[in-house]
Amino acid sequence: MRSLWINLHLYAAAFMAPALLLVAISGGLYLIGVKGKVVNIVIDVPGGRTIDQESETLEADVRELLSSVGIEHEFEYLKVRGNTLVTRPTSRVHYAITVLDDSTTVSRHEPDFQKTMIELHKGHGPLMFKTFQKALAVGLLFIVLSGLWLGLSSTGLRIRTLATSAAGTVVFFVLVLLA
């Protein structure tokens, strides 16, 4: 039975390694200030064009507005933030539509590779990728718990596993209390 758990642990860890590396590298770079860049291009919108943010057909209205200024853009959903509508996912070229009382502005946003990785890390990618990230979270939980169980169930590793787990727990809670 132990052999099965070791194999499951190793297969899960190996399968998820690329995604976990993405999260670790993009998050680490973000924390040291490498956040990526977005090229913003403002697109002219004919005067008088506005969008009702309370509309039942908001996504269709945005598609029609973009089409009216010569933009064919597929998006999965909209993020409404104040008077700005952002097409999602933002991990690739996307548009921000700012609606004021009497005017509308459209901006094309082109993220570079690092910004794309950050957007994926934040869960702003395509819906299929977000579903994968949810499965990844469950898988990571399995990897951690199975690794702990394997360490604790081994006579030769039990003390080292307990000591390092206790040290990690203490460091984590001290940092939480200081935050």
Comparing 37 with 51, which gets the higher pLDDT? 37
pTM of the model: 0.83
22 closest CA partner among 93, 94, 111, 122: 122
Rounded Cα–Cα distance for residues 92 and 126 (Å): 9
pLDDT at residue 56 is higher than 80: yes
Taking only the tens place, the pLDDT of each residue in 128-163 is 999 999 999 999 999 999 999 999 999 999 999 999
Give the pLDDT of residue 171.
98
CA angle 25, 94, 17 (to 5 degrees): 25
Comparing 5 with 49, which gets the higher pLDDT? 5
**CA dist list (Å): 79 to 57, 73, 89, 111, 138:** 14, 15, 9, 17, 26
Taking only the tens place, the pLDDT of each residue in 81-128 is 999 999 999 999 999 999 887 788 999 999 999 999 999 999 999 999
Task: Please state the three-class secondary structure of the chain as a single string.
Answer: CHHHHHHHHHHHHHHHHHHHHHHHHHHHHHHCCCCCCEEEEEECCCCCCCCCCCCCCHHHHHHHHHHHCCCCCCCCEEEEECCEEEEECCCCCEEEEEECCCCEEEEEEEECHHHHHHHHHCCCCCHHHHHHHHHHHHHHHHHHHHHHHHHHCCCCCHHHHHHHHHHHHHHHHHHHHHC
Give the pLDDT of residue 132.
96
